[in-house]
Structure 1
Amino acid sequence: MSQTSVSDALTWRYAVKKYNPDAKISATDWKALTQSLLLAPSSYGLQPYKFIVVENPAVREKLKTVSWNQTQVTDASHYVVFLYKDNVDERFIQKYVDRIAEVRGATPESLEGFKAMMVQNIAQAPEEKTRVWAQRQAYIAMGFLLETAALLKVDATPMEGFDPAAYDNILGLEGSGWKTVASVALGYRHTDDAFQNLKKVRFAEDSVIEYVK
């Protein structure tokens, strides 16, 4: 893919306000979008996040009511809720270490040092610090999803305008160790969405990007 095509895709994208409820994402494109979430980078590779794809119309209607009645929640082809691990403890870290051993054929003993470092820096850190760290990791995954969607010419809307605690309740997350932090609606813009015709507003490059030589 050329530099021009990437730039064109990123210029084309915007946070859609009105989706076409009849336009659905193909299975092939959806597979690519899910891969962007699975392959997104995270600190230590620990992935302290999960994603709930809400397909049930009744559940999406409930989520809409606690999302300031934003129609993206119900009208988009797919609606993804981003969760973060509320308590990244040693058990979660061990689960990741076990996965490394499985995928790479490593011995648990060879990973003890790496595990100890993560336990010290994350599991034993102040809870609020770890919580904010986990939320930031989820947003990295969101960025990968948004760019992949733009490259596929799939519309996407990142969203925080909702009641996270209400989402947790509706999705049955109490006691699960996971909490809602954000969401992304994906699908195709409605022809009536006037925002698609507006020019993208960004600060000039030289006021945003600075080089230290």
Structure 2
Amino acid sequence: MNVIEALQWRYATKSFDEDKIVSKEKLDILLNAFNLTATSYGLQPIKLVVIDNKKLQKDLVSYSMNQEQIAQASHVFVICIETIIDKIFIENYFKLVKSTRNTPDEILNPFKNFLIDDFERKTEKEIKEWSIKQAYLALGNLLTVCALEKIDACPMEGFEPSKYDEILKLKSKGLQSVLVLPIGYRAENDFMSKLKKVRKDINSSVLFT
């Protein structure tokens, strides 16, 4: 199955088969895909919380607009943003760059200082909005990799972030939840899996100049 066939196959799963579990091998592929997602400046202001506790999943349903996929899924991914993106955060990123690539300070410092100055000028609201955009990049990447691996998923914005943050103790980790992605395998009786995909004609959604 090529990538276009995989994207044709995928859909927002409305009902998961609770008896089918994503293997560790497949799960590791998704976790690596998340970690390899492109982010602005490479700063990775996002983290992935993986839930594979059925009781916890059931508890979260009531804070997820009663969407039963949360309880049915093999695993639930919660994409979170870092609550503090400051000078220390940026300096730690450049320490990682230096240790990974052996890049000398005289090459790294101009870009590092630019980013520190740039983020110090931003408001908290602007930084949060920027971070959320990176979370959506990760979501899109995960959806594509799920499709290629024949793993079903359902992206969700419809949940109560404050309740997720409280239950998952995210505040103490310096995180806020922004997106939820239950994954697993579609149930045979999920009528949505039988429906044709609805998309605009490519000539109306893609423009050449």
* TM-score (norm: length of structure 2): 0.95
Counterpart of 2:94 (choices 93, 97, 122) is 97
Q: In the alignment, what sits opposite 1:122?
A: 119
Structure 1, unaligned runs of 5 or more: none
Counterpart residue number, 1:79: 76
Tell me, what secondary structure is at the counterpart of 1:158? coil
The 5 Å alignment of 1:39-188 reads 39-188=36-185
Separation (CA, whole Å) in 2 of partners of 1:63 and 1:95:
34
Query: 1:6, 1:55 → 2: CA distance?
Result: 28
**Alignment match, 1:192:** 189
Please give the alpha-carbon distance, in whole angstroms, between the structure 1 residues aligned to 2:33 and 2:172.
28
Q: How much has 1:175 moved relative to structure 2? A: 4.3
Equivalent residue, structure 2, for 1:210: 207
SS across alignment from 2:93: helix
Q: Which amino acid aligns with 1:76?
A: A
Matched-pair contact (CA < 8 Å) for 1:62–1:170: no
For residues 58 and 80 of structure 2, the distance between their equivalents in structure 1, rounded to whole angstroms, comes to 19
Q: Is the 8 A contact 1:36 1:148 kept in 2?
A: yes
Percent pairwise identity: 36
Letter in 1 for 2:142: L
Cα separation, 2, equivalents of 1:199 and 1:57 = 32
RMSD of equivalent CA atoms = 1.4
Give the Cα separation in 1 of the matches to 2:106 and 2:59.
48
CA distance in 2, matches of 1:50, 1:152: 22
Q: CA deviation at 1:200?
A: 0.7
Which deviates more from structure 2 when the two are superposed, residues 100-109 or residues 146-155? 100-109
For residues 69-124 of structure 1, give each alpha carbon's deviation from its aligned partner in whole angstroms, at most 9, with x where no partner exists. 21111111111000012231111111111111111122445321111111122243
Distance of 2:206 and 2:118 partners within structure 1: 31
Q: TM-score, normalised by structure 1?
A: 0.93
- Count of residue pairs the alignment pairs up: 209
CA distance in 2 between counterparts of 1:108 and 1:59 reads 46
Report Cα offsets for 1:107-147 as digits up to 9, x if no partner. Answer: 44532111111112224312111110100001101111110
- Supply the distance in 2 between the matched residues of 1:170 and 1:99 (Cα, whole angstroms): 31
Structure 2 unaligned regions, length at least 5: none
> How many angstroms apart in 1 are the aligned matches of 2:120 and 2:207?
35
Give per-residue Cα distances to partners, 1:163-213, cap 9 Å, x unaligned: 01111111112243210100111110000100001111111112211111x
Note the alpha carbon deviations across 1:18-64, whole angstroms, 9 max, x for none: 00011011222111111110111001000000000012222222211
